Homo-oligomer: A and B are copies of this chain.
Amino acid sequence: MLTVSDVRFPTSLEQHGSDAMHTDPDYSVAYVVIETDQGMHGYGLTFTVGRGTEIVVCAVEALSALVVGKSLEEIVSDFRGFYRLLTSDGQMRWIGPEKGVIQLATAAVLNAVWDLWARSEGKPLWKLLVEMDPRKLISCIDFRYITDALTEQEALDILVKAQTGKQQRVDQMLKEGYPAYTTSCAWLGYSDQLLKQLCTDALNDGWTKFKVKVGADLEDDIRRCSLIRQMIGPHNTLMIDANQRWDVGEAITWVTRLAEYKPLWIEEPTSPDDILGHAAISKALAPLGIGVATGEQCHNRVMFKQFLQASALQFVQIDSCRLGSVNENLAVLLMAHKFKVPVCPHAGGVGLCELVQHLILFDYISVSASLDNRMCEFVDHLHQHFRSPVVIQNAHYMPPKDPGYSCEMLESSVQTHQYPQGQVWKNLQ
């Protein structure tokens, strides 16, 4: 049995999550629960920002016909085939393919399948992945359309090579955790005073890497970047994020004006579809020491392949709910490794931190074996609605210990935030 719910949080009331393109987000999820005949549960979700969540819910319902009736064993014994079944249905692929609503729905469904799989093995997902035979891992990936950049054999070689030193890295992660940066201090809608307060608190809590939203107004950006740089000092790390606000030429001009604040990267300078545009921006900003980061709206492995082929990004920002779940993220992690580009996941939203921490742990332990220029986004919102919320210690993600993919939400949170019938929304009417 598969059920799906439209769950929304009224975050727009306080400008949490506001950026240059999404000025009033109500952080939301299409929330999937799979129940097997044996009474086991798998929980999955995809993140949205309010209106339109009902469309993703509708897409999950359409995909559910391809899932219900299959056993977990049947699915994971040919996960590549099952992935292809969902993404290449002879009729539904027309409304994608592998992009937008239908890909978000695919992610929600497959995240629930992976959660179920990890629970059935009694392991947190990162551990399931880390301990899985490399051949089995490879068999979960659909290599269609990427073999010109990464063959199955090359992928296997990467995984086999990274077996060396694996246990050491597991131990290191269990002890230190994975480095994180914070986006919680400087949403676009926040006042300078709030920004200062949050920044002070974050520094006290041990944070050393900070992201600032930019792109709406240049003078405003200069003031905010200057303020943050003053607050954090010259040695901490600053990143800026424009959320697709600019055209190519404009991006170069604008970021050049902010170069004196020494941002490590400019994130999403322009359309997420514009590979060649990002390549042009990368080339123009390289002499200033500023990299380009993108990925949270990069919709599939074919796009990431080209971003890598064209040297159009210097930081790969995978997203646990935009790509086709773990399966497609594995493909992107392996390609990024081959092209020697660090992965710095997108997180935040609802549950994105909970999910993506598993993927980046796997990346370090079983793929990249490096922490150079690597860190995972953290946003301190809405974790209280999860059964196994992220644990951050000294600005590091501590590896989750509960079995599964950390997707399960509290039943009470789901009930009260259902849209439009939940109590939270009724109270707002």
Contact = CB atoms under 8 A, between A and B. Distances in A.
Given A22-B94, A24-B91, A94-B49, A148 B55 contact: no
A72 interface: no
B275 A93 contact: no
Given A148-B277, A271-B302, A59 B101 contact: yes
A94 B52 contact: yes
Give the interface size class of chain A.
35 or more
A97 to B, nearest CB: 7
- Count of this chain's copies in the oligomeric assembly: 2
A50 B91 contact: yes
Given A93-B21, A97-B297, A100-B101, A275 B276 contact: yes
Interface centre among A49, A93, A148 (most CB of B within 10 A): A148
A22 B91 contact: yes
Contacts of A244: 97
A104 B248 CA distance: 26
Given A55-B55, A62-B52, A145 B102 contact: no
Give the secondary structure class of A's interface: loop
A211 B25 CA distance: 47
Contacts of A270: 145
A55 B147 contact: no
Contact of A273 (B24, B88, B249, B300): B300
A280 to B, nearest CB: 7
A330 to B, nearest CB: 18
A35 interface: no
Nearest to A59: B55
A48 interface: yes
Given A52-B95, A94-B49, A97-B297, A145 B24 contact: no
A383 interface: no
A101 B55 contact: yes
A244 to B, nearest CB: 8
A54 B50 contact: no
A309 B275 CA distance: 11
Contacts of A102: 52, 55, 100-101
A100 B96 contact: yes
A302 B274 CA distance: 6
A301 to B, nearest CB: 9
A90 interface: yes
Contacts of A50: 91
Top-8 shortest CB links A-B: A100-B100, A50-B91, A101-B101, A51-B91, A148-B248, A52-B92, A145-B271, A58-B58
